[in-house]
Amino acid sequence: MIERIKNIDLDEQWDMIIKPQGHLFDLKLKDVWYYRDLLFLLVRRDFVSFYKQTILGPLWFFIQPFFTTITYTFIFGNLAHISTQDIPAPLFYMAGITAWNYFSDCLIKTSTVFKDNSDVFGKVYFPRLIMPLSVVLSNLIKFAVQMLMFFLMMSFYAYKGGTFHVTIYALLFPLLVIQMALLGLGSGMIISSLTTKYRDLAFLITFGVQLLMYSTTVVYPLSAAPEKYRWLIALNPLTPIIEAFRYGFLGRGSFTWISLGMSGLVTLCVAGFGIIIFNKVERNFIDTV
């Protein structure tokens, strides 16, 4: 009997072995690739559920940035008279809003991954990293729709003779999107991992993201920031990304390769640390959620 079992074990070939523990840097990236079909299904689910049972459906992707742009133009442009570097105010704010929305959506939705999916995590195995990755990819669809709206606005103001121009640095756009995605992913996973034990952090997410927006050059250019605070705003890793975004598509912005490189380095560190701590917490988070 023992010999028969031994022979069976030798003959069987497993394509995956699920282990209860692993070392800290075992990120299970091979498992993520193996479950890529599940990843695409989750992306489709997130996209469909966004406008399911709504009257306007995908039009909400356009409505939110459109009315936000109008509000910022009235408050920061007409009332506060904050400089937009001679760029038409709606176009200036739309550029910042489009980039910021993608990062903030990735951060906010990723930061609640453990809490929102605790029922699924406790019943079936799959690499947990798929959940935050699906958030980033599904938000990319929304970002693409809002970029279309941004390009339409650019075309309108170009026809009207607006004082802006596209530069060769617009070719950095894919790199900027990757940086925003990784920064939102890493930050969100760190917060999600911490909130499994410290629930108070969940109440600070929305408030903290709002404060972070005002410390980033979303509604003002870096050159318009007070001199004594400019260096602090420049240290924000999102600031070089948004400034490079505007410099590429609108020809205005405080763009330097050094600042963008430092932002990229911080992004890689945050993303790497986020994945590692997420991988560590997901082993036993079900006992505390």
Q: How many helical (H) and strand (E) elements, i.e. helices and strands, does the chain have?
A: 13, 0
- The one-letter amino acid at 259: S
CA angle 273, 131, 58 (to 5 degrees): 120
Question: What pLDDT is recorded for position 110?
Answer: 87
- pLDDT at residue number 7: 45
**Cβ–Cβ < 8 Å for 255, 243:** yes
pLDDT of residue 65: 85
Q: Would you state the pLDDT for residue 32?
A: 75
Euclidean distance between CA atoms 187 and 287, whole angstroms: 23
| E strand intervals along 19-134 | none
Closest CA to 142 of 93, 109, 191: 109
**Residue 2: per-residue pLDDT:** 38
pLDDT at 94: 93
pTM of the model: 0.83
pLDDT, residue 240, reads 94
Per DSSP (E only), the strands in 22-116 are none
> Do residues 99 and 242 lie in contact, with contact meaning Cβ atoms separated by under 8 Å?
yes
Confidence (pLDDT) at 15:
57
Give the Å distances, CA to CA, from 146 to 7, 43, 179, 254. 59, 18, 18, 24
Segments of the chain with pLDDT less than 70: 1-29, 50-58, 118, 121-122, 200, 283-289
